[in-house]
Amino acid sequence: MQQERRTTVLRSVVEKYIETHEPVASATVAKDFPIRVSSATIRNDMAALEGEGYLEEPHTSAGRVPTEKGYRYFVDRLMTIAPLSAAQVHGIVSSLNQSASLEEMLRRAARLLAQITGQLAVVASPTLGQSRLLRFELVSMGNRMFLVILITDGGHVEQRTFLSQAAPCDEECSLFINAVNQACLHAPISLLGKNIERMAAEATFSPYRGFVLQVSRVMSRMSNEISSDGMYFAGVSQLTAATGASDLGPLLDALEEQVVVMRLMTAVSRSSAADGVGVAIGSETHSVELANASVVSSMYGVGAADDSAGDERPLAFVGSIGPTHMNYSATMAAVKAVAEYLSSFVTRQGF
């Protein structure tokens, strides 16, 4: 009974802090508590929750606020995702249906998500960073300069040049090209660098292992550049109004590192529970700039099956970044709704 009551106290503190952004006092919790209980009992429960690391007291006698641990427990065990209203869903569908292209739809999706949540919205393009290899070519341009050419399953052609001091002969180069095409056909471009790095350990390529490792690094850099190009951001003004410009500096600095954002949002999406929406809170983002922020993200779209795993392949993500005291239920519902619509669209279009 005591543990159940403390769990209810924690839920009340988190919900009220999300609503008011002010430390929550025991009298405030007792006022709306579902059963009759004294402020002293609530105060003792809040002290116990503080001792367990779920709450903290920012100032003496100022009430308590949730910690990261408190938010995590709330999101994982106490909260339910409240679906968007019919009017909100209709607004999303109506607005996105007016898009003349995929790019316009993704921009609209970012703006809509920002308007619904009052936070930063990030939407990634499904055509970048998730493409698969159709053909790999390596051309010697003389003077130890090489040109790498990648042709993806979506018809995109990517080229990069690099200088090598350990160039193989023409026969060795042809052997390497054929081996890459055989081993990596239909592999995600994002994994090409690691796949080629593993090939460098094979005895066949030991005479020019340094060259193979150099190619793997070029592939990894290329993948990062491709992945960071197709992201759409919206909502800086909404978040500024909600939190104040002084709190946004570190967050905006983090957004400039688009490759980092891409990796973070993708990782959060893939850590999602059965509802398909992932959440990283504060230090869970592993980013100093996002220490006081939370990330909510979901993958959208389904591509071809992964040959090695036999499962369906998510294409890209849609997500929201805001303060740790964000309304998690509303944010997760909005991210889920937008992701579901985008999934339906890219499936119909055959991405």
| Residue ranges covered by each domain of the chain | 2-78, 86-128+230-349, 133-228
Output DSSP code: residue 284: G
According to the model, what pLDDT value does residue 187 have? Answer: 87
User: Is the CATH number of domain 133-228 3.30.390.60?
Assistant: yes
Find the mean pLDDT for residues 89-118: 90
Q: For residue 68, is pLDDT > 70?
A: yes
State the average pLDDT for the chain. 85
Q: For residue 305, is pLDDT > 50?
A: no
Classify domain 2-78 by CATH number: 1.10.10.10
Find the mean pLDDT for residues 265-284: 87
Model confidence pLDDT, tens digit, residues 150-205: 887 766 688 899 998 877 888 999 999 999 999 999 888 878 899 999 998 998 99
For the ranges 199-208, 224-233, 239-248, the lowest mean pLDDT is seen at 239-248
User: Is the CATH number of domain 86-128+230-349 1.20.1740.10?
Assistant: no
For the ranges 15-29, 81-95, 104-118, 227-241, the lowest mean pLDDT is seen at 227-241
Find the mean pLDDT for residues 298-313: 55
Q: For residue 307, is pLDDT > 60?
A: no
